[in-house]
Amino acid sequence: MSNLKGKTLFITGASRGIGREIALRAAKDGANIVIAAKSDAPHPKLPGTIHTVAEEVRAAGGQALALKVDVRDEALINEAMDKAVAEFGGIDALINNASAINLTNVQATEAKRFDLMHSINTRGTLLCSKAAIPHLKKSDNGHIITLSPPLNLNKHWLGGHIPYTVTKYSMSLLTLGLAEELRNDGVAANCLWPKTTIATAAVEFAIDDSLLAKSRTPEIMADAAYEILISNSQELSGETIIDEDILRERGHSDFSKYLNDPECTDLFMDLFVD
């Protein structure tokens, strides 16, 4: 595919951050964007709602449908998928972007915190994928992209925050399994993860705000997702893809434009990337 004109993307957690940037990148081609997130009203600390992103998508050249969706609620997910199909005629790509993070070890993790991460990260990815699959099968180039990491079992990634790691690795396992489950249906499933930390609210509030100056902007993930989405779904599937790697493979060489701080010379590597 040369572009995403007329294609419909269903993006979870798209009211801000990486999900928003993926939406805006696809909108430049004239894509239809379903902005599926919980944020339908302004947050006191976090910018963006499903409605503000919908306005940005339309201004960028795309069509938008803003839907309040909690990925923990199967009925809401199914209803949102039906509304997307009714509005745009189908679904060509699902972006499993919604995620929860809590970087504590087992001893310091409350059960409710783990349950939240599991219900959004693992269960939410499964439910959204299941609901999208019947529609993706009808697309001529169906894609699932899950924002989850490579399965790095080096010991230093297992000791610090294994409750979170379990849920993110589960997202990856689900996606790699879907690639095989759907291979004969022509639907691709790939994981996408950043090489460096990305300047998002997750880094600012859940990790360390001092890392923002050592991070790249969400645009790099949007450009990487775009390269996946325009790929032939029968040729690129079942991979855990790093943003910088696929962009280099596709001929991109200037990564300075993605620096959150133009003066930064010491980018911070993201979790699970050695």
Helix (H) / strand (E) element for 188: namely strand 188-193
Q: How confident is the model at residue 156 (pLDDT cuts 50, 70, 90)?
A: very high
Ordered structural domains, the chain, with CATH: 8-258 (3.40.50.720)
> Residue written as tokens 């990487």?
224
For the cut 90, the answer to whether the pLDDT of residue 157 exceeds it is yes
Tell me how long the chain is: 274
Give percent of the chain above pLDDT 70. Answer: 100
Q: How confident is the model at residue 273 (pLDDT cuts 50, 70, 90)?
A: very high
Q: What is the mean pLDDT of residues 258-266?
A: 96
- The answer to whether 114 and 163 are in contact (CB under 8 A) is yes
For the cut 90, the answer to whether the pLDDT of residue 231 exceeds it is yes
**Annotation marks residue 164 as catalytic:** yes
For the cut 80, the answer to whether the pLDDT of residue 199 exceeds it is yes
- 180 phi/psi in degrees, rounded to 5: -80, -40
The active-site residue out of 164, 169, 226, 258 is: 164
CA distance 126 to 273: 24
Query: What token pair was written down for 105?
Result: 């070890």
What pLDDT score does 140 carry? 97
Mean pLDDT of the chain: 96
- The answer to whether 23 and 14 are in contact (CB under 8 A) is yes
Query: What token pair was written down for 224?
Result: 């990487």
What pLDDT score does 46 carry? 77
- 196 phi/psi in degrees, rounded to 5: -115, 170
Q: What is the mean pLDDT of residues 3-9?
A: 98
Lowest mean pLDDT: which of 137-151, 195-209, 220-234?
195-209
CA distance 198 to 181: 31
pLDDT tens-place string over residues 58-79: 999 999 999 999 999 999 999 9
Lowest mean pLDDT: which of 127-131, 207-211, 222-226, 264-268?
207-211
What pLDDT score does 1 carry? 72
CA distance 252 to 263: 21
What pLDDT score does 149 carry? 98
Q: What is the mean pLDDT of residues 132-159?
A: 97
